Amino acid sequence: MILKRLACSLLWVMPLAVEAQEFQFQTVIDKAEVLAGSAWKAPKQVPRFLQELSYHDYQGIRFKPESSLWREDEAPFSVMLIPPGLFYQHAVGINIIENGEAEPLAFDKTQFSYPNSEIEKLMPADLGFAGFKLTFPFDAPDIHNQFLVFAGASYYRAVGRHNNFGLSGRGVGVNTGLPSGEEFPAFTEFWLEKPSADAKSLTFYGLLDGKSLAGAYQFTVTPGDETSMQVKSVLFPRQEMELAGIAPLTSMFYYGENTLRPDGEWRPEVHDSDGLLLHDGASDEWLWRPLNNPATLTMDYFATEQLRGFGLIQRDTDFRSYMDAEAGYGTRPSAWVEPEGDWGQGHVVLTQLPTPDETNDNIVAFWTPDTKLQAQGPHTFSYTAHFGAADVAGSPMARAVDSYLGDGKRIGGGDAEGAVRVIVDFAGGPLDERAADAPVTGDVTALEDGELIEHFVEYVPALERWRLSMLVRPVPDRPLSLRAFLHEGEETLSETWTYQLAPGSDVLNVIN
């Protein structure tokens, strides 16, 4: 189940050679519906020597920046192309839309440089592309910054102006986390609309195909301090879908302040995201779940009656929390998915897988409807995906900025055998308006029959935070499970912090 970075299943097909033809989004929708009415066919793989390239040799195949699409037109956007090989084992069709007509983009091997003459000689002249990268001048008109990459199944990665690449988005998820095994549908063809010279946004389209469904997508992306992408998706399942994942986000969490540090690790924390945030409109509750690196696969379902948004957030952006000058974890983007319209009742699903290091994307979050998607469709979901700073969701509530766990029977932790001391620091929102002696209290619930021994709230001047301290004893062989928020009288001040540790987790093992 662990997803190796960039090593996603790739299901690309080559486009047929056709002349320019009139194009609109309905063109892609019609193609998806036709695909869904027939059996799925596995695409043709690229030559074996490309699949077996070493990482170093594949990285040595580089697209020449001067060959970027639209670069010579001095357009604000340009397109760099990605070669198949190594992880990218199938080609994807790319078409260019200009004046309302679409024309296939031909592969040209001279647009790439190669690590050696042998690879260049073997490279087929009609190979095709694995995907594309979009650039935009964030810093200066003549500097083309990469801000969006589509490559690998239905995966894409996006950043805001001040971010480095980190977590990924996906077109759709199929049976993520289920024992039956996850499927990886792929974008098999793209249509990119040539932008005007003063364009602030770029529109493109994708055709998705997989064993269980086909789909049509329209993307309109606007880069900036926060990069936003409006998505319209029309899905046509080939069969009833057991677990459809809408607007999936994929990230990495190795360890953080709420876990033990692995033996031999010198860095305080290592993760691309440190929590799941969601907002349900029916209750107007903002909920925060710190991420974990579990001992075994875990799946958590958060009920939503009227989803307003969900995302994977890199809330801790302080370099000192990571001390890794190369990885730059503090600059990884946060992502927030904002539905358009009412998606109905469903659940935000958080899937967490164990990982022995930071090379695995082991976190997946998505929304799934309570009613399973039926065969044929269409099923339409529109939303905007935002990528940027930690406050990308715009929550008005005080936020849980740090979570710590330790032994509840030692100096500084307590004197309760088998208990866990849990510390949560809150800051921001309405708390900024409170005096240090304000009567802020915590509302804490111990779930799974756990025993809440004590809890209290205090202001910590050195950090300018409000600290909720809890001492809780979980039932043996049951999860440590808690919900908590801060309030003053009848006024809720903070988001709801929720946490769960399965039996066998590192912290519980140490305590017990």
Element (H, E) at 21: strand 21-22
State the Cα–Cα distance between residues 343 and 366, nearest whole angstrom. 13
Give me the pLDDT at residue 6, please: 39
Residue ranges in the chain modelled with pLDDT below 50: 1-17
State the Cα–Cα distance between residues 275 and 297, nearest whole angstrom. 17
State the Cα–Cα distance between residues 58 and 51, nearest whole angstrom. 9
**CA–centroid distance for 64 within its chain:** 29
Q: What is the CATH number of domain 3-388?
A: 2.70.98.10
Question: Residue 162 gets which letter from DSSP?
Answer: T
Q: Note whether 91 and 105 are within 8 A (CB).
A: no
Give me the pLDDT at residue 503, please: 84
> Which residue has 């304000």 as its token pair?
438
Q: Note whether 440 and 486 are within 8 A (CB).
A: yes
Q: How many CB atoms lie within 10 A of CB 433?
A: 8
Give me the pLDDT at residue 212, please: 96
pLDDT tens across 206-227, in order?
A: 999 999 999 999 999 999 999 9
The torsion angles phi and psi of 142, rounded to 5 degrees, stand at -100, 10
Give me the pLDDT at residue 129, please: 96
State the Cα–Cα distance between residues 321 and 332, nearest whole angstrom. 13
- What does pTM read for this prediction? 0.93
Give me the pLDDT at residue 19, please: 62
Q: Note whether 424 and 467 are within 8 A (CB).
A: yes
Q: What is the 3-state secondary structure (H, E, C) of 375-416?
A: CCCCEEEEEEEEEECCCCCCCCCEEEEEEEEEEEEECCCEEE
Give me the pLDDT at residue 290, please: 98
Please name the amino acid found at residue 31.
K
Strand partners for 407: 420
Integer CA distances (angstroms), 183 to 3, 4, 187, 194, 210, in order: 12, 15, 13, 32, 8
Q: Note whether 324 and 332 are within 8 A (CB).
A: no
pLDDT tens across 119-146, in order?
A: 999 999 999 999 999 999 998 888 889 9
User: Given the DSSP bridges, would you call strands 465-473 and 414-427 parallel, antiparallel or unpaired?
Assistant: antiparallel
State the Cα–Cα distance between residues 226 and 202, nearest whole angstrom. 15
- Of 9, 300, 310, 6, the residue nearest 177 (C-alpha): 300
State the Cα–Cα distance between residues 412 and 477, nearest whole angstrom. 25
Give me the pLDDT at residue 275, please: 98
Residue 312 tokens, joined? 């994977």
CB contact set of 76 (below 8 Å; sequence gap of 6+): 136, 137, 195, 197, 198, 199, 200
Residues listed for the chain: 512
State the Cα–Cα distance between residues 71 and 136, nearest whole angstrom. 11
Q: What is the CATH number of domain 399-511?
A: 2.60.40.10
Q: Note whether 418 and 512 are within 8 A (CB).
A: yes
Cβ-count burial 389-411 (b if 16+ within 10 Å, e if not) = bbebbebebbbbbbbebbbbbee
Please name the amino acid found at residue 160.
G
Give the E-state strand segments of 165-201 in sequence order: 168-170, 172-174, 186-193
Give me the pLDDT at residue 512, please: 66
Q: How many CB atoms lie within 10 A of CB 509?
A: 11
Question: Residue 319 gets which letter from DSSP?
Answer: G
Domain ranges of the chain: 3-388, 399-511
Question: Residue 332 gets which letter from DSSP?
Answer: P
